[in-house]
Amino acid sequence: MKRTTPQNQKDSGTRAQSDPMFCSITSALRSPCCTILESISDGVFTIDPNKRITSFNRAAQTITGFKAGEAIGQYCFDVFRANICEKKCALDETLTTGQSQVNLPALIISKTGDQIPISISTSILKNENGDIIGGVETFRDLSELERLKRQLARNYTHEDIVGRHPRMKKILSFLPDIAESESPVLIEGPTGSGKELIARAIHHLSPRKEGPFIAVNCAALPETLLESELFGYTKGAFTGAMRDKPGRFFLANGGTLFLDEISSTSRAFQADLLRVLEDGEFTPLGGTRTLKANFRVITATNLELKKLVDEGRFREDLYYRLNVVKVSLPSLRERREDIPLLAEHFIRKFNLLKDRSIQGVAPEALSFLISYPFPGNIRQLENIIEYAFITCKGDVIGMEHLPRDLVDERKDQISLLSENECEEAEKIRAILKQYPQNRPAAARALGMSRTTLWRKMKKYRIMDT
């Protein structure tokens, strides 16, 4: 071990002056121990009494997006850009009172325009004579933790929507306007493309954000149950109705009602729904008293609703009532450039959830994922990454960690499918889901014979539902 001598003290002092990374902290430790500060995941920077940055470690650069060369010498608020800088600067408080601040929450804006939640701790820096020579601030990136908290509470915001594809960026930039209006929203997009995420983000951006967000999957409930779920019922309305039960319309009062898979509802139900949406009034099953509820309705479908209207399977009047604002989500296949970003996002999520530290996806596996058609869209990608967390024991997800059937399937034939064929396969899957156990009806809806449907299912390896 190197002993501290007046000479190496002097060396480290000289180095601190010549190399900005050797700040007063590292000099004080009497060794070129920047490795300590450089290897930790917390951001650390120091300032002089004039609030000019004197050192800026590697994590600080990663979190803020500013290089040390861009940060050092600048005012800390111009680089750090936290929401507390102007009104309640933690370092100001520490320099004035001498008191350290611990784990203060704040939001910073990175160089690339991302808002990052952090926790800040501050302390004063003194020289060997005990004179205050500035302050030190450490900060921890809480984005993933906050994101995870929101996911667990399902309180998604627009910040949880990952995507840089122009169509996604356009949708995101419209969300605040959509949210602010009270208009009904229709979200169209293939299964697993994030329709509920968008619905929740609209709710959390809207003036109704303090109210409830009530989600109902219309395809998951038989029609009679769906009616009683939405309208509620009174005691004795039917066998087993032992007490009054408020419906989802009532529960959504003051908030947002999200009706997923609206295309799977019957025309009779659609007529009832239209009546409720038109005057906001409804009568629970078996009840005599009309109730009123004030909610905003957001609907979602994985089928093209207009086409269903043209085919007479969806009421035109309800379609126009629901389709005041339409959000059309692209399939993952249509925004392949977002796949690396999404893979990275899910890796961060599962690293936190499963206490792992997987660094990323190997180039070959990533290239495979980018070329894969993803009939299950983002949900399928998430499942693939979750599976890889089981099979991968190292730091990087490789081809061998991806689900075997996926790789084999791709090898066998999917790679030979054109874009049009992929779309056709996806459409068949959606229609089959719409008509479970009823292949003739599915064939009719697809405008093809039963034999053609069977042949295509075989070709695309689609299993009957």
Instruction: Assess 143 for contact with other proteins (CB under 8 A).
Output: no
Instruction: Assess 150 for contact with other proteins (CB under 8 A).
Output: no
Task: Calculate ∠ Cα 261-276-241, nearest 5°.
Answer: 80
Strands 115-126 and 101-109: antiparallel
Shortest distance (Å) from residue 299 CB to other proteins: 24
Interface pick for other proteins out of 22, 80, 314, 460 (rule CB under 8 A): 80
Instruction: Assess 77 for contact with other proteins (CB under 8 A).
Output: yes
Interface pick for other proteins out of 42, 48, 78, 92 (rule CB under 8 A): 78
Smallest Cα–Cα separation from 132: which of 31, 20, 51, 21?
51
Instruction: Assess 203 for contact with other proteins (CB under 8 A).
Output: no
Instruction: Assess 329 for contact with other proteins (CB under 8 A).
Output: no
Instruction: Assess 243 for contact with other proteins (CB under 8 A).
Output: no
Give the nearer residue to other proteins in terms of CB position, either 25 or 89: 89
- Alpha-carbon distance 365 to 407, whole Å? 10
Residues 175, 218: contact at Cβ < 8 Å? Answer: no
Smallest Cα–Cα separation from 176: which of 160, 157, 195, 154?
157
Shortest distance (Å) from residue 110 CB to other proteins: 8
Instruction: Assess 405 for contact with other proteins (CB under 8 A).
Output: no
Give the nearer residue to other proteins in terms of CB position, either 109 or 396: 109
Give the nearer residue to other proteins in terms of CB position, either 175 or 358: 175
- Residues of span 160-179 touching other proteins by CB under 8 A: 169, 172-177
Shortest distance (Å) from residue 175 CB to other proteins: 8
Give the nearer residue to other proteins in terms of CB position, either 6 or 113: 113
Interface pick for other proteins out of 113, 240, 312, 447 (rule CB under 8 A): 113
Residue positions counted in the chain: 465
Shortest distance (Å) from residue 72 CB to other proteins: 14
Residues 158, 174: contact at Cβ < 8 Å? Answer: no
Rounded to whole angstroms, the maximal C-alpha distance in the chain is 93
Instruction: Assess 110 for contact with other proteins (CB under 8 A).
Output: yes
Instruction: Assess 62 for contact with other proteins (CB under 8 A).
Output: no
> What's the sign of the alpha-carbon dihedral 342, 345, 346, 347?
positive
Shortest distance (Å) from residue 86 CB to other proteins: 5
Q: Select the span of 112-120, 146-154, 210-218, 295-303 touching other proteins (CB under 8 A).
A: 112-120
Interface pick for other proteins out of 52, 81, 150, 313 (rule CB under 8 A): 81
Tokens encoding 163? 């995507």
- Residues of span 297-326 touching other proteins by CB under 8 A: none
Shortest distance (Å) from residue 313 CB to other proteins: 36
- Alpha-carbon distance 443 to 262, whole Å? 21
Q: Select the span of 79-87, 95-103, 226-234, 402-410 touching other proteins (CB under 8 A).
A: 79-87
Give the nearer residue to other proteins in terms of CB position, either 174 or 320: 174
Residues 365, 403: contact at Cβ < 8 Å? Answer: no
Shortest distance (Å) from residue 305 CB to other proteins: 26
Instruction: Assess 139 for contact with other proteins (CB under 8 A).
Output: no
Interface pick for other proteins out of 19, 41, 99, 114 (rule CB under 8 A): 114
**Owner of token pair 């609030």:** 51
- How far is Cα of residue 147 from the mean position of the Cα atoms in its chain? 7
Interface pick for other proteins out of 4, 97, 99, 115 (rule CB under 8 A): 115
- Alpha-carbon distance 294 to 299, whole Å? 16
**Owner of token pair 């007529």:** 271
| x-marked contacts with other proteins along 413-452 as a string, rule CB under 8 A | ----------------------------------------
| x-marked contacts with other proteins along 84-103 as a string, rule CB under 8 A | -xxx----------------
- Alpha-carbon distance 194 to 196, whole Å? 6
Instruction: Assess 142 for contact with other proteins (CB under 8 A).
Output: no
Shortest distance (Å) from residue 412 CB to other proteins: 41
Shortest distance (Å) from residue 330 CB to other proteins: 17
Tell me the CA distances in angstroms from 341 to 48, 115, 163, 384, one per residue in order. 38, 17, 7, 14
Give the nearer residue to other proteins in terms of CB position, either 108 or 285: 108
Shortest distance (Å) from residue 205 CB to other proteins: 8
Instruction: Name the site residues for other proteins (rule: CB under 8 A).
Output: 74-75, 77-78, 80-83, 85-87, 108-115, 158, 169, 172-177
